[in-house]
A and B are shown apart, each in its own frame.
Chain A
Amino acid sequence: MRKFILRKFFANDNNEAFVPDAKFKHPDVAPELTVDHFNLSIEGSPILKDVSVTIPANKITCIIGPSGCGKSTLLKSLNRLSDTIEGVKTTGDIRIGDTSIANCSMSDLVELRRRIGLVPQRPTPLPMSIYGNIAYGCKIHGVSSRRELRKIVRHYLKVVGLWDEVKDRLTSPATKLSIGQQQRLCLARSLAVEPEFILADEATSALDPVSSKIVEDLFVKLKEQYSIVMVTHTLRQALRIADYVIFIYMGEVIEVGDAQQVFKNPKNELTQKYLSGAIS
């Protein structure tokens, strides 16, 4: 029955312009993310040491560095998913605009997390339908109108280019999609709650080259409206799409700057070594 109702609704696709729910309206000026003398240790061993960087708005910022240097931990700290690691301690601050993330209360945190979306390393479709996956975020933030939810689902599936592939099976489980489609679904799911930032932790590493290219192109397209921070292992990917680069080594920020400058004229010796493949 539900399937039928959904199909009927989606059948009168009237192409009206999509306006996101008022709750999720972006601020007029896109905020920056500021990491301010941030330290993080897990059970006493320091993972991030005195990290201070500013992540610009409406750009693709790539965090690069050898494995185990703390890239992913820094990314997780940006939306405080680092909280879920047992034995974690932090000092310093992380702010979105003027609002502190690192030192806010639990009730503010759920709203802040909405403003900072995440695309995981491997796609993680939630145990529900394709439709349910995208509606989930909006539902937990209090959008209850079915009509509204359907509009949102259709819009964001279109944004990530999944709509034509899945419009006839919105009620089937999301796990039935291919890996590449799942990853785009995860992106659409994050976008559905209108974040200002999107964090991506090697979001293309589990994908085949074609899907990987699709997701990459999406990021480039999305940076007009969203600010994107991605961790990447592939320097070539960073070269292709990064506007801004943060190089981390052993938990410390070694070099930060415009992609052109960091890749063409790295100032620090370690950055030069990493870029030439001497350390990895």
Chain B
Amino acid sequence: MSNLRIIKDRTASGAMRTVTIVALAFVLVMGWGLYRKSAPILSEIPLWDLLTDSTWQPFKNKFGFFPFVMGTIWVTVIAVIIALPLSLFTAVFLTEYSRRFVRKIVYPALDILASLPSVIYGVWGTLVVVPWISDKLAPYFVSFSTGYTTLAAGIVLSIMILPLLVSLFVELFTSVSNELRDSSYALGATRWQTAQSVVLRKSLPGVFASVVLAISRALGETIAVLMVCGNLPAVPHSVFDSCYPIPALIANNYGEMLSLPMYESALMFAALLLFVVVLVFNLASRLVLRKIEQK
């Protein structure tokens, strides 16, 4: 009887360990697979040229990834610049100012927003954001814009990461103990002073980690961005230029024109690039986070 229990326990432990290892192995296998597939282009064109060249003419065997790298950076940066203050203020309002019944309404709404399929954001962007930019906003700054711009992609992306950021921040802020808040109030601090000097300061490492998480999400977001960014392989010089982030490049072209072997390899290199960037980004942020927490 007791033998059976021990056998069960050992089997379970073995099975669970295997599953964990398999899950981890996937990351390595994917990375390795992407590397293998992109080896042809890497052996033909040096890595540095691939990253810094801006001509993208697959049929002439010219693969410059600079426009795509810049497109990705622009879109992500715009999204974070818009979403970060909005989500911080929303979370501070919800945790420090609002009454319970407001929170009861807002929290579920945020969860719904966070779980909407991204194609819906894409459609919304095409129907609302793109015309708004081309008709209302762009005429103030440039002579002509289709609306399918870096800015549109940034706005749509910011709306997508907003609920994620807000719910992460709310969780962080509610974990700050009320005794700490009370100590600040008892000195005569207002709610805003308390939020700034106590709540935000206390959760700074967490805020940093949340932003990293949101950026990772934004870097990889494909479909909604692809629908509004304009998909033009050129380096954007202003927010009213079209752009072409890496995920959109892969999604738009993979499966077509694979008769060109170098083209396929180039797309795989794009995937590898994304993979490495997200990986390095996450690891680096972990290191920085540890430094902040030690302070």
**B-binding residues in A (CB < 8 A):** 79, 81, 84, 86, 110-114, 116-118, 120-122, 124, 126-128, 136-137, 140-141, 173, 186, 189-190, 193, 199
Contact = CB atoms under 8 A, between A and B. Distances in A.
Given A84-B178, A84-B181, A120-B179, A126 B197 contact: yes
Contact of A128 (B99, B185, B190, B201): B201
B18 interface: no
Task: Identify whether the interface residues of A are mostly helix, strand, loop, or mixed.
Answer: mixed
Nearest to B196: A140
Interface of B: 99-100, 177-190, 193, 197-198, 201-202, 295
A124 B178 CA distance: 10
Contacts of B186: 79, 81, 113, 116-118, 190, 199
Contact of B202 (A121, A122, A127, A193): A127
A81 B186 CA distance: 7
20 contacts: A84-B181, A84-B182, A84-B185, A86-B99, A112-B188, A118-B183, A118-B187, A120-B183, A122-B179, A124-B179, A124-B180, A124-B182, A126-B197, A126-B201, A127-B198, A137-B189, A140-B193, A141-B188, A190-B186, A199-B186
Contact of A110 (B178, B189, B197): B189
Contacts, number: 73
Contacts of A111: 188
A56 B190 CA distance: 28
A116 B186 CA distance: 7
A111 B186 CA distance: 10
Contacts of A141: 188
Give the one of B100, B186, B189 with max A CB within 10 A.
Answer: B186
Contact of A136 (B178, B181, B187, B295): B187
Contact of A137 (B178, B187, B190): B187
